[in-house]
Structure 1
Amino acid sequence: MIPLPIDRYLPDVVAAAKQHRAMVLVAPPGAGKTTRVPPAILAAGLMDREHPNLVMLQPRRVAARASAARIADEQGWTLGGRVGYQVRFEKRIGPDTRLKVFTEGILTRQLLDDPFLEGVGCVILDEFHERSIHTDLCAALLREVKQTVRDDLILIVMSATLEAEPVSRFLGGCPIVRTEGRTFPVEVKHTGYSQAYAWERAADAVMDVVASAKAEPTEPGDILVFLPGVDEIRRCGERLSRFADERNLLVLPLHGSLPPDEQTLALRPSKQRKVILSTNIAETSLTIDGVRTVIDSGLARIAGYDAQRGMDKLELERISLASATQRAGRAGRTAPGVCIRLWSKSEEQAMAAFTTPEIRRVDLCGTALLLHAWGKPDLRNFGWYEPPAEDMLVSAERLLAMIGALDADVDGKITPLGQRIMALPTHPRLARLLIGAAEAGLLEQGAAVAALLAEKDIAWEERGTPRWMRETKTIGPSDLLLRLDLLEQAEKSRFAPHLRDSGIDPVAARQAAKARDDLLRIAERLDRDPRSNTPVSNAASGAAMPKWSALDHDEIIIRLALLAYPDRVCRRRASDPAAAAMVGGTGVRLAAESVVRQHEFFLALDARQDARSQTREAMVKIASGINVEWLEEFFSQSIRRERVLVYDEQRKRVVARGTTSYRDLLLKEDKDAPVDPAAAGPVLAEALRPRARELFEADEKAVAIMDRLNLLRKHMPEQAWPSIDDAGLGDILAEACAGRRSLDEIVGRTSLGAILESQLQYPFDRLLDQHAPESIEVPTGNRIALQYRKAEPPILAVRLQEVFGWFDTPRIAGGRVPVLMHLLGPNYRPVQVTDDLRSFWTTTYFQVRKDLRVRYPKHSWPEDPLTATPVARGGRRRT
């Protein structure tokens, strides 16, 4: 074996594991911990005879296969003999296998079947820093097993970039072993900022490296390029195609969607110089012999989940510093190397130290169901390594209740249906779909649908809309049915590359077909309810499933999708046929390539939040039209019928709307149901309350009362006058709305002024009339109305002849406020404005008399107005 840095630390690792039965190992990239530590633990004989096996967990399938193969090669063992692996739908383990490399989900399911973990004496969690949801869950479950029933179990946590102390504390203060540097030095270079696409920059960097290698005296080695996703890998490969032919380069993709043999092709040595275009699948665990140069785009597509909207997210993000360190380490595994980072040093300062753990960002539906099956219904009190956010737990349990896996009425107890869902190694949604498909006798089609929804979309997109959509302008009931046709076409063509011309991704189609076959093989164990030919009911709704035999296959498939995605029901918006509202209030928009263009209600099966959308609408690429009656059949407990009273602004009245809703999504509405006046009053009041002041100020009498009160509040502050503020007016208006249904009944048939006046209680009603009267009696005996104004003295507009003999200006507010007299001529226009009547008689009156007696000779203009008889209307001239 080639000596590796970890070798001299193996005695320390073995000693710590033997003494404490738990430990944390921190070893830099390239140290060899993945392939050397497990055999060393086995060779040390630390495990009991009853539990002789060692399990090492890897976060990725390709890493699990490659790690097991590498161990077999280094130890001279046979893969599937002393060492083997098991990943989803694939297993190479024999009766003599003692060292088993699993992906993490395999062990969690094994724990459900065997909580004592019989036969396993040691579990190693490799690459713990990646903090996948399964890593966190395994760590918590294994700790519980060790603390309760298996104190002999050895737990080892390994990583290259890890904050070891928190892990040590979680495992009871176990020892930490740290090893020194990587095998060979790696020179890190930064290219600086560029606006070009990541795949363009990466391809240009590859060409620069290859061109400069001519001047290098040593073997240049292979090139490993980290790109964020499959699309960037494809585009980068296309850009390099001609250059690679000219330079005899072997350009190979490496990502999780590739078949295992194609992944292995990228890992094994080659006579040609290789350029490996990889996602972050090659970031850890894998040793790719011959790599001397790493080109790092610094980007990754990070899976996430929007708990509020119940949708997955896949966002392009800057990687963490820990990931950058891991990637750079790939260049120094077998010889000195170089890492070219396609960003600047200043950009690096803003990068996060670690990637956010999956427990804080991904869908917890499967995790929550597993813990319920484990016997932990109270997820908040489970011993998490790091607890998830409350909204993520709520979202997960809500969905599980909707699909019938949990009983919402019995403290979230797992149901028999939930146990059946748990038995299938796929997301609970898709497991529910498979169970329904088995009941309907369409298991093969159900497995195909589940695979199409679980794997990468097989519809090939090139420059936007797929070619089949551009050519046919297809309109249909479901994008799922279309993809089933595309998958069948791909299989008939043996997944040939020319399928891209027909709008089919042959690589994704091959993976979907394999996933379908794997699911079918497992799901064939599903049984029907032996009691009748009617499938078992959905525990969440209490409604029996339909008799599938009476339905055609296409309708069954769409109904099965509804069973799995009951939280993705959408109603199209009348104002925009491409937009819709989904359960929960989320806005969604159908992608241009969707064929679902005519259904009012549909399922958003592949809904992704688009960060570029200014409206925060989710883009839906795969939809299925549904009939609203199906919701009543499947989820009757989620159907709510209500009669809602609302204020119709156009009609200015309260109307009754009978509504039928699925959860919070409106299904039907009756806008002209009968209205009970007693029930309408509060609704009318609530609608009109914000406009209370506006309505009162439109009533002349109400305005006068408010002005009178304001005047008295200012000039007679010793009295506790009621304040007529907006809140008070709102309360008064609310009382007036009692038993009424419309605005017209408030302002058209009654006086708001009278209503306002009636609210004044004794003694303020009397004091208001006494100190701010509506009118004043003048010497003729007539009562003349006072005109009250905001913040001004009131006006008494009276004909001059009616106030003969009146010595002084009348006063109000306890004599503190003189009224402003508008003395009118015979034409009822002011001839004088004064608040000092006595002064007017002695000074100005004679000039007024002189001017007016000529114009109005028939009216009385006495020389002494203080002794003259007041005249109510015009008469003979008096001298």
Structure 2
Amino acid sequence: MIPLPIDPRLPEIVDAIRRHRSLVLVAEPGAGKTTRVPPALLDAGLLGPEHPNLVVLQPRRVAARATASRIADERSWTLGEEVGYLVRFERKVGPRTRLRVATEGILTRQLLADPGLDGVGAVVLDEFHERSVHTDLAVALLREVREALREDLILVVMSATLDAGPVSRFLDAPVLKIEGRTFPVAVSYRASDGSPLPDRVAAAVREALDAPDDPGDVLAFLPGAEEIRRAARLLEPAASSGGFAVLPLHGSLPSDEQDVALRPLDRRKVVLATNIAETSLTIDGVRTVIDGGLARFASSDPARGLDRLELARISRASADQRAGRAGRTAPGRCVRLWAERETRGMAPFDPPEVRRVDLAAAALTLHAWGATDPRRFPWFEPPSPEMLDAAESLLLQLGAVEPGSGRVTPTGEAMLALPVHPRLARLLIAAAGFGAIELGAAAAALLSEKDFSIRRGPVPGARAPEVHSRSDVLVRLDLLAEAERVGFKPGRMDLRIDPHAARAVARARDDLLRACRRRDRLPEGPRATDPDEALLRALLLAFPDRVARRRAPGDPTGRMVGGRGVRLEPESAVRDDALFLALDAREDRRGPGPLELRVRIASAVEPSWLESQFPGDFHREEVVRLDESKGRVIGLAIERYRDLVLREAPTGSVDPTRAAEALADALAPRAPELVRSNEAACSWLDRVSFLRRWVPEADLPAFGPDDLAEVVRFACIGKRSEDEVRRSPIVSLLQGRLTPVQLRLLAEEAPEVIEVPSGSRHRVSYEGDGPPVLAVRLQELFGWPEAPRLARGRVAVLLHLLGPNFRPVQVTDDLRSFWTTTYHQVRKDLRNRYPRHSWPEDPRDAPPEAKGGRRRS
């Protein structure tokens, strides 16, 4: 074996584990921890004969397979004999296999089947810093196993970049740090010029290959399979002329194609990889790393009810990991395709998945483990209560757990046996029961993998987008069948099909079908007479919270359970059905209108399916409510699924009492606006408000929204329309809420009108917070020595004194002062303009002039 930096430290590692039965090992990239530590534990005899096997957990399938293969090569073992691997849909182990490399989900299912981990003496959690939700779940479950059942169980946590303190405290384990074998890596930066990332990666690769002093291979990081394919197409001409190989490496590739990228070649190679090549995997010969700086991270997609991949900037820790790939075997270089200043804005570490992904699968696992309330489970790092609540709600809707007790139902147990999200497991179970398991597996694969229907406009020679169907899933499955018939050859199938994505869906379908039928895991019902309908009903059971109702026939918009608006994309073939499932709803904030969920994949729903499959959520009722468009109360017979109205029809006559109640319920929230739209009521309320401010001892009511709502409710008695209520004697109803003493005080101390010396009665305005206002012609006040006072004499009325043209000539609450001072200037200004009106020298002794009167000459 090639010596590695960790080799001299292996006795120290083994001794620490022998003494503590646990260890947190932090070893730099290139140290050799992944392939050297697990065999060393076996060689040291730390595992007894009762539990002789060791399990190494890897967060990725490709890393698990590659780790097992490398250990086999280093130890001259046979893969599948002394060492093997177990990943989803693939296993290579035998009865003699003591060292097993597995993904965390495999171990989780083993723990549920055998909590004591019979035969397993040690578990090594490698690359713990990646912190998948399965990793967090595994370390918490393993701690419980060791504390409750297996104190002899050895637990080792390994990582290259890890804050060791939290996990060390969680496991009560010592920490050991080991330096790695690292060669210098020269890091350079190249700011974006605005061109697409695959173009920039291809240009950087060509430049690296042309460098005369760099004979090594190139590893380039891109965020996804599509970007990898685009970069590979751009590099094809250079590869042909330069004699180097361009090899993709991502999780959706078949295992044999992944192996090609990892094996040495007899010529230079360029590996175009996603972030699966950041850790664990060693690709010998790499001297140059091209880092695009982006990755796709799993995050919860509440709209679709599954996890989604979001494009985002990597963390500084990931950037360092990527750069280190160039210095594993010799000095190297890393070209970062971003400006150096942008590095400061990158997060130190990637956030753990437990904070950002759907937790339904984890919650179901905990229910099966016996933790009836996952919120109280001793997580390594607890997720947010909101995410756990969403997971619990979904499990109840899928019928996976019993309400109240939290016990796993038989359906939930079947779901646990399938290596897919609980929604898709429910789809498979339902499809098997309906006798359409093949279609169910195909649909589950379609919904879990990348959509192979290309998202662009009409393509010459492609199938017409105007196709009508009851389900976009059925349309895609027809396209998939067509692609398979021609061997996925691009020139012979529909031009809107992405052949790579279609192949991935077909592989996933076959894997799921084998998993369902392995050991008769899912009982199948009689073959469906209408398989398409069986599939549509199975989809409903998997997505019961995605039912939407079209707003009108032919309208692409609708409303979904929960109240969200949805809009079917033009390429959706579901054009006629009133009810449909919004299977891949996506938020789109680009438009100027209200935020709607955009739906490319929809599937029709029959109301009768809702009633038969979800009787507790389907309701029929007769309601009485205000028709806002007509302003009248109507009766309706309504069918409802949860909060979604499916159908409503008029019932004819309405009981008067129910009509009044419905009218009151509709108008009460608008009571302040409705009451104040009545001029008399508004004026009356202003008088009460004035008196409340200035005579608080009268204890007048405030007439807030609740008081006015009660008044409106009384006004609705015997009424059927809003107009009838508005014509009601609102003031009388308001007055009924005052005592006789309060009514008398209101009339005396906040009168509606005041009689002036001319004998006329003028309305007083009590608007706002200022004093009451009386607007009156100046001549009508002759002989009045001073302005009246209201509110038990506490507030003087503010007089707006009007000229003969009824325009204000003075505003005052001190009439006595006005007569002796300002009046004479007003008289001088207006007497010649209005000679027919009275302008006495002493207005205090002059007779008043009635409104509109003229002085006779």
Pairwise TM-score range, normalised by the shorter structure: 0.7 to 0.9
Helix, strand or coil: the match of 2:220? strand
Q: 2:513 aligns with which of 520, 534, 539?
A: 520
1:787 corresponds to which residue?
763
Q: CA deviation at 1:121?
A: 0.7
Write the distance in 2 (CA, Å) between the matches of 1:262 and 1:163.
35
RMSD of equivalent CA atoms: 4.2
Asked whether the equivalents of residues 182 and 324 of structure 2 are also in contact (C-alpha less than 8 Å), the reply is no
2:549 corresponds to which residue?
571
C-alpha change, 1:459 and 1:704, in structure 2 (3 Å) is closer
Q: CA deviation at 1:96?
A: 1.1
Paired AA for residue 186 in structure 1:
V
C-alpha change, 1:56 and 1:679, in structure 2 (3 Å) is same
Alignment of 1:490-639 (within 5 A): 490-498=483-491, 502-524=495-517, 549=528, 552-574=530-552, 577-609=555-587, 616-639=595-618
Alignment of 1:703-742 (within 5 A): 705-706=684-685, 717=695, 720=698, 722=700, 727=705, 730=708, 733-734=711-712, 736-739=714-717, 740-742=719-721
- Which deviates the most, 559-568 or 730-739? 730-739
Q: CA deviation at 1:276?
A: 0.8
Q: 1:422 aligns with which of 416, 423, 434?
A: 416
Asked whether the equivalents of residues 77 and 83 of structure 2 are also in contact (C-alpha less than 8 Å), the reply is yes
Residues 843-869 of structure 1: per-residue CA shift (max 9 Å, x gap): 99x99xx99xx999xxxxxxxx99999
Identity of aligned residues (%): 50
2:129 corresponds to which residue?
129
For the pair 1:744 / 2:723, whether they are aligned, the reply is yes
Write the distance in 2 (CA, Å) between the matches of 1:396 and 1:3.
48
Alignment of 1:183-332 (within 5 A): 183-212=182-211, 214=212, 216=213, 220-307=215-302, 310-332=305-327
2:445 corresponds to which residue?
451
2:378 corresponds to which residue?
383
C-alpha change, 1:528 and 1:796, in structure 2 (3 Å) is same
Residues 237-276 of structure 1: per-residue CA shift (max 9 Å, x gap): 1111112222112111111111111111111111221111
C-alpha change, 1:327 and 1:500, in structure 2 (3 Å) is farther
Helix, strand or coil: the match of 1:753? helix
Helix, strand or coil: the match of 2:298? strand
For the pair 1:475 / 2:468, whether they are aligned, the reply is yes
C-alpha change, 1:873 and 1:201, in structure 2 (3 Å) is closer
Helix, strand or coil: the match of 2:497? coil
Asked whether the equivalents of residues 736 and 746 of structure 1 are also in contact (C-alpha less than 8 Å), the reply is no
Q: 1:407 aligns with which of 374, 385, 402?
A: 402
Q: 2:745 aligns with which of 760, 767, 770?
A: 767
C-alpha change, 1:319 and 1:436, in structure 2 (3 Å) is same
Q: CA deviation at 1:770?
A: 3.6
Asked whether the equivalents of residues 591 and 620 of structure 1 are also in contact (C-alpha less than 8 Å), the reply is yes
C-alpha change, 1:205 and 1:838, in structure 2 (3 Å) is closer
For the pair 1:432 / 2:411, whether they are aligned, the reply is no
Asked whether the equivalents of residues 319 and 355 of structure 1 are also in contact (C-alpha less than 8 Å), the reply is yes
Alignment of 1:168-179 (within 5 A): 168-172=168-172, 174-179=173-178
Write the distance in 2 (CA, Å) between the matches of 1:810 and 1:298.
81
Asked whether the equivalents of residues 588 and 618 of structure 1 are also in contact (C-alpha less than 8 Å), the reply is yes
C-alpha change, 1:704 and 1:307, in structure 2 (3 Å) is closer
Residues 311-336 of structure 1: per-residue CA shift (max 9 Å, x gap): 53321100111111211121122221
C-alpha change, 1:464 and 1:821, in structure 2 (3 Å) is closer
C-alpha change, 1:578 and 1:303, in structure 2 (3 Å) is farther
Residues 199-224 of structure 1: per-residue CA shift (max 9 Å, x gap): 11111101111122x2x1xx511101
Asked whether the equivalents of residues 64 and 102 of structure 2 are also in contact (C-alpha less than 8 Å), the reply is yes
2:5 corresponds to which residue?
5
Q: TM-score, normalised by structure 2?
A: 0.87
Paired AA for residue 269 in structure 1:
P
Asked whether the equivalents of residues 304 and 586 of structure 2 are also in contact (C-alpha less than 8 Å), the reply is no
Write the distance in 1 (CA, Å) between the matches of 2:817 and 2:385.
78
Q: CA deviation at 1:554?
A: 1.2
Q: 1:688 aligns with which of 657, 665, 670?
A: 670
How many residues end up aligned between the 2 structures?
A: 839
Paired AA for residue 748 in structure 1:
R
Asked whether the equivalents of residues 554 and 575 of structure 2 are also in contact (C-alpha less than 8 Å), the reply is no
Write the distance in 1 (CA, Å) between the matches of 2:20 and 2:809.
110
- Which deviates the most, 463-472 or 187-196? 463-472
Q: CA deviation at 1:64?
A: 1.1
C-alpha change, 1:6 and 1:209, in structure 2 (3 Å) is same
Q: TM-score, normalised by structure 1?
A: 0.85
Structure 2 residue runs without a partner (length 5+): 838-843
Residues 772-830 of structure 1: per-residue CA shift (max 9 Å, x gap): 555678999xx753321344554678998xx99x89789564688689799999x9999
2:102 corresponds to which residue?
102
Asked whether the equivalents of residues 713 and 721 of structure 1 are also in contact (C-alpha less than 8 Å), the reply is yes
C-alpha change, 1:113 and 1:494, in structure 2 (3 Å) is same
Structure 1 residue runs without a partner (length 5+): 536-546, 857-864
- Which deviates the most, 416-425 or 759-768? 759-768
Asked whether the equivalents of residues 303 and 312 of structure 1 are also in contact (C-alpha less than 8 Å), the reply is yes
Q: 1:368 aligns with which of 363, 366, 373?
A: 363
C-alpha change, 1:247 and 1:91, in structure 2 (3 Å) is same
Asked whether the equivalents of residues 546 and 583 of structure 2 are also in contact (C-alpha less than 8 Å), the reply is yes
C-alpha change, 1:575 and 1:329, in structure 2 (3 Å) is farther
Helix, strand or coil: the match of 1:407? coil
1:543 corresponds to which residue?
none
C-alpha change, 1:472 and 1:721, in structure 2 (3 Å) is closer
Asked whether the equivalents of residues 807 and 838 of structure 1 are also in contact (C-alpha less than 8 Å), the reply is no
- Which deviates the most, 396-405 or 578-587? 578-587
Helix, strand or coil: the match of 1:413? coil
Write the distance in 2 (CA, Å) between the matches of 1:176 and 1:871.
103
Residues 712-732 of structure 1: per-residue CA shift (max 9 Å, x gap): 678x75863737665487356
1:164 corresponds to which residue?
164
Write the distance in 2 (CA, Å) between the matches of 1:873 and 1:425.
94
Alignment of 1:660-679 (within 5 A): 660-670=639-649, 674=654, 676-679=658-661
Paired AA for residue 467 in structure 2:
T
